Amino acid sequence: MSSGELQDLYQEVVLEHSKRPRNYRVVEGANRQAAGHNPLCGDQLSVTLKLEGDVIRDIGFQGQGCAISRASASLMTGAVKDHTRAEAEALFEKVHALVTEGPEAVDVDALGKLAVLSGVSEFPARVKCASLAWHTLRAALEGRDEAVSTE
């Protein structure tokens, strides 16, 4: 690849998660769910999760989308599982800052694997792809069952 930025966007981890997304399923006994939609490209994604008290005990996603949106969703499920709503919310804020403002804006070390999404900040047209799953997670946690949209 000639372009460093392209390499940053499509890192190995991103490609790997997009090809073999984790938690690509409907969670059995889910008590929260939401659908997300990016009208710009027609991407659709659903998130199901099991909330026990304040803790996300299980989470899965399904849908169609580009490598960035699938990888982001896959990484998200791993990152928020067994975490509280507040922790998931805080993580969303960090990821949002990462993909919009770049790695300088956040404490990248605290993001773990999610740091691979830092390349997105060089591609403004792709920010919505990276954040669709997170918006959908937020809608599920808030119990909004109307479809969320990135528009």
| Binding footprint of another protein on the chain (CB under 8 A) | 1, 3, 5-6, 9-10, 15, 40-44, 64-68, 123, 125-126, 129
Task: Considering the complex, state which of residue 80 and residue 136 has its C-beta at the smaller distance from another protein.
Answer: 136
Residue 71 CB-density burial (10 A; 0-12 exposed, 13-18 middle, 19+ buried): buried
The nearer residue to another protein, 109 or 125, going by C-beta atoms, is 125
CB of 58 to another protein, least distance (A): 27
Instruction: Please state the closest distance from residue 66 (CB atom) to another protein, in A.
Output: 4
Least distance CB 150 / another protein (angstroms)? 13
Which residue is associated with the tokens 């993580």?
A: 91
Q: How far is the CB of 128 from another protein (least distance, A)?
A: 10
Q: State the number of CA atoms in the 13 A half-sphere of 22 facing the CB.
A: 16
Both structure tokens of 85: 């709503």
Contacts 24+ apart (CB under 8 A), 52-55: 54/84, 54/85, 54/86, 55/82, 55/83, 55/84, 55/85
Q: Smallest gap, in angstroms, from Cβ of residue 41 to another protein? A: 5
Which residue stretches of the chain are H helix?
4-9, 12-19, 67-80, 85-101, 127-141
Burial annotation 36-47 (CB, 10 A radius, 16+ → b, else e): bbbeebebbbbb
Q: Which is nearer to another protein, 45 or 111 (CB)?
A: 45
53 vs 125 by CB, closer to another protein: 125
Task: Give whichever of 6 and 147 is closer to another protein, judged by the CB atom.
Answer: 6
